[in-house]
Structure 1
Amino acid sequence: MALVPNPSVPGIRICRPKIISDYPLPDEESNSRSYLLKKIGSFYRKARRRLDSRRRRVQAHGLCVGLLDPVSNIVINSITDSCKGERKREGEVVLQEDLRRRSLDGLVVFLTRMFPNLAEGLAVRYLRVAKADVLIAACIIVSDHGIKGFGNSEAEPALINMALKCAGLAARHPDPKRLVYAWQKICNCMEDALGLLEMIQEPSRISQVIRQLAFMVTEGPPASELAVRRAWMLAEASVRRRPRSLQQPHTHLCSRTLQDTIHGYYLEALARLPAGSCFHRSLIKAGHCYGPLDPVSNIIINTIWYHTAFPPSMKLELNAIGTRSLHRVANRSLYGLASFLCTRYHGINFHQAVCLLLQADGNLARADPFLDPDSHLPYGQVQCHPDTGPKEAFLAAATAACHPNPDAQVKFLTSCKEVLETALSLLRRDSHKLSTQDVQQLARLLSPESPYDHDSEMALPPLPLKSYPLVDLADLYTVVSKGVNILLNKYEQMPNGDPRYELHTICGVNERVGGPAQWPPHDRGRFHVNFLATPKSPCGGKPTLFFAEIQSDGTYDSFCCPVALPLPCAAQIRCVYCEAMGTRIVHPVAINFRGRDSAFEMLAREKDPCQREEATLRIISHRRLMAENVHCKEKEDILYDGVDGHRNKFDNVSSLKVEEAMLLAPLCRYL
């Protein structure tokens, strides 16, 4: 990321995307793999001594992949394999070198399947830091990503179990399902298993211990996905005792966590704003999440203020917001937040600013302790006094975020503290969807010289959608909207037979969810969709976020289900197809969908037309291109440009330099 000074305004420091290749060089990765293979070899020697292979009780032929320390993983997996009659026949030799390489492949895939932005080269680097202990490496990655509460996350058991199965597939385990099942059963009685693993080193008790461990993985309590949290807690405790991290920080890893957090705030803001597309143009152009209030309130007041101060000349009749345009305003908000901190505190670089924002859950009032001295929010980690005032910092934020009128926004955000406090009290008074009256009151408060008039806006002429590419976009959202309404009608009904929910806003669409042969998928016909729907009960209520998988031809396998708004800085369920297209769709934890576990298992088997590592790099690179897009104009922008004449000059500039585009070109040649 580049910090760019502004010569016209001294002290202004603007953060902009700068894509660099921070993957390990071939020599470094080769040296790390050699080190890890030797380390894994030492684990097998220790496991053989524990299992006493000279008496042929159990051969130490199990994989090094599991949820305990590496030696214990080998012991547990060896006992599990022997219980299923997979002891090697007399004279059959297991090549130790092949076993070590297969285990290393499994460890690497375990990490890349848990974390969506982790290339295999970086996974190898983390494994070396963790001395080939895969769960310790995962804990370090969670810390470097800025992910919070992973051990208590609803998604955590599903991610670990999927990663464990993919690791078994990559390591050519004969039955990866059994590998996962055995570890779930071990985790059910973790304390007993740890005690037995300590006793196994006593020669007189080894036979008894092996029998008891074998009973655990075959006849013990029923397996439970949630039990894996106990293994994660043990690994976290070990990391706290021996803190480790990479000397070279990977800023893009924690940036993705912050962007996912910001995206969650935009979903919540859309749920608070009135239904329909009335405010979509203003949110896309100027609804950034920086400001003196909390992120969701900042998005709402920035949106309503811009909508009132720079009203549209036509209305857009579409119950969906552009997916990529929404992602881009979240990207812009991230660079606006970071530029604010870097301008306020000149000793902070972009990486440090992102880390401060992660600690504060993307809340600028928490990250900057001097922004609001009267606030009772927990202070951030900044230990020095500001180098500039809020006015200069907000100007840097507005410039970095490509605001259409930076000077006007700075004047708005710094002009009257009492006005913003009154707006915040109004937003907190009604935690549900804002009514038309609420919006009118906020508009008069934020921009008294040009108050919002709902009736006059309803009389505006509609934007014509007959010309290409407007008609193409309108057709896409019409198909999605029709599918969503069909699913809502079936999902839940009131006693009179009417649907319980009505569509509020479609807020995320991936129209390229294809079959396993497509990589990335490019056939239309199946969609992944996030939408907000409002209860139609007499009391109404705040809109609920839904996920839908829609087959456009109306086949039976379309479905929808509620999903929770993503928690700040939390892990999320993964989808191959949405990651391949760079869309931040929120997926369900407990329901299967196209692109979930089976697609990652296919990659682990290398059944993809390309090699596993190549496919993973392409997905990561495309996701990164979407995440770094700040300036590039999206096709959907034509919808919002057509609503008024307030064009954004930044939207005609490429966000990538020529050399940066060339750097990513080899990785994206299949997109």
Structure 2
Amino acid sequence: MAGRRRRGGSPDTWDGTWEGEFLDTIHGHYKDALDALPLEAMPPLAPRLLDAGVCFGFADPVTNIIANALSSREPEPNGGGTKKRKRTRKLETTGASVEARSREEVLSKIVAGDRPSPPEARTVAERSLEGLVSFLTSYFRYLPTLDALHYLGLARADLLVAVSLIQKDRCCRRRDQLRIRSPAVKTALKCAAVSARQPNFDGFLAGCFALVPQIKMITTQTLSADGSCRLTVQDISHLSRLLADPPKLKRSDKPMNLVAKRFHDPRITASGEDVPGQLTESLRGVLMDRVHEHYLKAVSRFPMKDLQTRHHRGLLKAGFCFGPFDPVSNIIVNTVWYDTAFLPSKEFGVDVICTLRHVESRSVNGLIAFVRSCSPAISEHKAMVYLLKSNLDACKAVRMAKSGECDVADCDDNGYKAAAKAASHPNPEAYCEFVMQSLASVRSTVRSLLRASHMLSPGEILRLSALLSFSSAEALEPTIQLTKDALKRITNYNEDFLTEQSFVHGKVEVALRSYEQYKGCHYDLGVICGVNDCVGKETGIFDTKFQYTHANFWASQDKGTATLFFSEFSNDEDSNYEPICYPVSGLSTQEVRCCYCEYQGVRIVHPIEKCWERASGFERIACGEHNFTNAEIVSRAKLIDNQVMGIFVKDYIYLDPTHDAKLIQTVNRAESVMNLDLDAEMRRIKSVAAAGHYPQEASFLI
């Protein structure tokens, strides 16, 4: 069976390249389960196992198979009265006892033949594999199917062992590790059940959670450690009653705590260095998520009016999270310094920061370059691991890389130069001089000012700006102007931004006021710091748009605190759709996943409340009913997160002739190419090339 490939099924979970060794491992678990069950005494167990006994859940694979088979309904043993004997004879006539007479015969129904199985005829082992992959790709962001298979191979198809390996390789913090009560776990389990085509969907989910309080007792008392135990009829009846009437879950019921014992299985050959080839890209997505949390914290510490009227520019152009302080303080210091040192040609206010993605991605590039510059021998992957373990503190990451044998001083010159260059800082020379020389004289004062975690007052921001004013900022004259065509296009972009901003701000304002009325309180709306207007189905014919928008925004009840909110509202002006508005419990995007926001590459923190119905998107992906797949989400996330060159359309409002000469040259050149008669230009280039010359602009056009 090794090496056999199977085809068919949903695009995300049955991709046509399934190696037989994965199924061979799963078949071994089914053999152990069959050896443990009293099939001769309880014939109905066999068809139930073949129908619903998938190997995934919160216990080890063999225990999951048995528990899932029992969760459908309680089986009855042979004997024990006339009625039971009659029922047994009836089951025999329908073929149930025939299927249970020989364990090899039942196993042959699990181990499929050489021909590929169509979706409706897949065995319980094949459906188990689909469910295992679906759980992992639905629970973990940025996880391709191939990587999920790799981890399952290392874990010998043990779901929670695979989860533990992924968490270890991704350097998950304690608060981000799997908790069975979390919405993300419940959604992933539903996706797994849908992919595996479980016949009794509700019974399966109830059985999985009912097993949790009993796992330790079942695995240590009823089933032997080596799986060689044979269960009795009384054992099966007892297990069935436990699953039918489980006690309430306790905080101490943590099945992940039992995973460590299963690592001692000599057949599990996992290692921290043995990771998939694509993991570096996945790890970058995880690092971007962590960076986003720091930017949300930094935004919450600015006085909202100050951020909206001035410092939004410095944040998006140069507010990087690397520097001599913690990441949040670095973002604040770098933002205020840039706005102080490089005065804009004109100031303007905004209500909406559509996305932080651009500056976040460049920050990640800068952090990685910093660590690798100070420790040239380590790989990009290792640099990201150290950054995650150090909570994005680049100097701590360098010390980890050098096994604690270096000084913080080793993190200065080369590291900051490399970081500024990799992050495409608008003025890398000035930044390096600032952070490596000027800042040293006021570092302790700045650190003291930023030590508290409350929202800074306007006075504190002014004081910080004064501390970072090492030279008087002079108003510069533009060295290059936008061409007429480029200016027209950028003017159109800016007008579009203002129109969209007005629409989004109005919708968010209505949503927040509705929440205030419901709660009986008042909030001051702050900055809107994340918008995805591509949620739901496409509507319209000529003017294509989507049904809904998702947005995060800050609002405050007093001057010292700010709360992050989520809102979902209709993209129609006159819609009767009641907007959703909830405060979110944390700043992590991991707790609740949204396939629409992930597909667009927009990091939005979503609420846990059940009334947010579009959380079921991943279940539709698992069914193959969505218009995109997990593979496409992962691919787009990789592309978007690496998009750091150039400028986003909605960031053209920050294009400043006094500071962005090189960028303006690029914009002018791009606009001139767009207005060329390309056919005539290509004929000209070919004629010149035929004469033995190859003009430089040809490469730009091609």
Structure 1 length normalisation: TM-score?
0.80
Quick one: distance in 1 between partners of 2:595 and 2:493?
28
Report the 3-state secondary structure (helix = DSSP H, G, I; strand = E; otherwise coil) of the residue aligned with 1:595.
helix
> Does 1:576 pair with 2:595?
yes
Instruction: Report the AA paired with residue 579 of structure 2.
Output: S
Report the 3-state secondary structure (helix = DSSP H, G, I; strand = E; otherwise coil) of the residue aligned with 1:428.
coil
Call closer, same or farther: CA 1:204–1:75 in 2, change over 3 Å: closer
Question: How big is the shift at 1:479?
Answer: 1.5
Q: Which moves more between the two structures, 241-250 or 360-369?
A: 241-250
Gaps of 5+ in 2: 1-14, 77-90, 100-105, 113-122, 476-486, 668-702
Call closer, same or farther: CA 1:335–1:470 in 2, change over 3 Å: same
Equivalent residue in structure 2 for 1:68, among 37, 54, 59? 59
Q: In the TM superposition, what are the counterparts of 1:22-41 in structure 2 within 5 Å?
A: 33-41=19-27
Quick one: distance in 2 between partners of 1:548 and 1:619?
22
- The equivalent of 1:647 in structure 2 is 660
- The equivalent of 2:287 in structure 1 is 258
Kept in 2, the 8 Å contact 1:187–1:227? The answer is no
Q: In the TM superposition, what are the counterparts of 1:294-443 in structure 2 within 5 Å?
A: 294-323=326-355, 326-369=356-399, 382-385=403-406, 390-415=412-437, 416-429=439-452, 431-443=453-465
- The equivalent of 2:241 in structure 1 is 215
Q: In the TM superposition, what are the counterparts of 1:482-497 in structure 2 within 5 Å?
A: 482-492=506-516
- The equivalent of 1:459 in structure 2 is none
Question: How big is the shift at 1:90?
Answer: 2.3
- The equivalent of 1:664 in structure 2 is none
Quick one: distance in 1 between partners of 2:229 and 2:377?
59
Q: Which moves more between the two structures, 176-185 or 51-60?
A: 51-60
Structure of higher RCO (CA pairs closer than 8 Å, 6+ residues apart):
1
Quick one: distance in 2 between partners of 1:651 and 1:131?
56
Quick one: distance in 2 between partners of 1:154 and 1:582?
25
Report the 3-state secondary structure (helix = DSSP H, G, I; strand = E; otherwise coil) of the residue aligned with 1:220.
coil
**Cα deviation 1:151-207 (Å, max 9, x = unaligned):** 766787322222122111111111223211111111133333334542797988611
Equivalent residue in structure 2 for 1:54, among 34, 40, 51? 40
- The equivalent of 1:90 in structure 2 is 94
Question: How big is the shift at 1:572?
Answer: 3.2
Quick one: distance in 1 between partners of 2:571 and 2:586?
26
Quick one: distance in 2 between partners of 1:465 and 1:89?
78
Equivalent residue in structure 1 for 2:651, among 620, 625, 637? 637
Kept in 2, the 8 Å contact 1:343–1:388? The answer is no
> Does 1:149 pair with 2:163?
no
Call closer, same or farther: CA 1:635–1:308 in 2, change over 3 Å: same
Call closer, same or farther: CA 1:330–1:202 in 2, change over 3 Å: closer
Quick one: distance in 2 between partners of 1:330 and 1:89?
67
Q: In the TM superposition, what are the counterparts of 1:105-120 in structure 2 within 5 Å?
A: 105-120=130-145
Quick one: distance in 2 between partners of 1:205 and 1:148?
40
Kept in 2, the 8 Å contact 1:443–1:452? The answer is no
Quick one: distance in 2 between partners of 1:214 and 1:651?
72
Q: In the TM superposition, what are the counterparts of 1:456-467 in structure 2 within 5 Å?
A: 467=491
Equivalent residue in structure 1 for 2:620, among 602, 612, 615? 602
Q: Which moves more between the two structures, 644-653 or 132-141?
A: 644-653
Report the 3-state secondary structure (helix = DSSP H, G, I; strand = E; otherwise coil) of the residue aligned with 1:449.
coil
Q: Which moves more between the two structures, 502-511 or 346-355?
A: 346-355
Equivalent residue in structure 2 for 1:267, among 269, 273, 296? 296
Instruction: Report the AA paired with residue 27 of structure 2.
Output: G
Call closer, same or farther: CA 1:141–1:203 in 2, change over 3 Å: closer
Call closer, same or farther: CA 1:122–1:423 in 2, change over 3 Å: same
> Does 1:129 pair with 2:154?
yes
Report the 3-state secondary structure (helix = DSSP H, G, I; strand = E; otherwise coil) of the residue aligned with 1:645.
coil
- The equivalent of 1:104 in structure 2 is 129
Kept in 2, the 8 Å contact 1:287–1:302? The answer is yes
Bigger Rg, which one: 2
Kept in 2, the 8 Å contact 1:511–1:528? The answer is yes
Quick one: distance in 1 between partners of 2:177 and 2:302?
31
Q: Which moves more between the two structures, 484-493 or 104-113?
A: 484-493
Kept in 2, the 8 Å contact 1:402–1:650? The answer is no
Report the 3-state secondary structure (helix = DSSP H, G, I; strand = E; otherwise coil) of the residue aligned with 2:465.
helix
Q: Which moves more between the two structures, 354-363 or 170-179?
A: 170-179
- The equivalent of 1:10 in structure 2 is none
Structure 2 length normalisation: TM-score?
0.77
Kept in 1, the 8 Å contact 2:128–2:196? The answer is yes
Instruction: Report the AA paired with residue 293 of structure 2.
Output: G
Kept in 2, the 8 Å contact 1:440–1:452? The answer is no
> Does 1:167 pair with 2:192?
yes
Report the 3-state secondary structure (helix = DSSP H, G, I; strand = E; otherwise coil) of the residue aligned with 2:619.
helix
Equivalent residue in structure 2 for 1:182, among 207, 218, 229? 207
Q: In the TM superposition, what are the counterparts of 1:560-575 in structure 2 within 5 Å?
A: 560-566=581-587, 571-575=590-594
Gaps of 5+ in 1: 1-28, 370-378, 454-462, 655-671
Question: How big is the shift at 1:388?
Answer: 6.5
Q: How many residues align?
A: 587
- The equivalent of 1:80 in structure 2 is 71
Kept in 2, the 8 Å contact 1:510–1:583? The answer is yes
- The equivalent of 1:278 in structure 2 is 310
- The equivalent of 1:472 in structure 2 is 496
Quick one: distance in 2 between partners of 1:384 and 1:400?
26
Question: How big is the shift at 1:83?
Answer: 2.8
- The equivalent of 1:450 in structure 2 is 472
Call closer, same or farther: CA 1:129–1:265 in 2, change over 3 Å: same
Report the 3-state secondary structure (helix = DSSP H, G, I; strand = E; otherwise coil) of the residue aligned with 1:526.
strand
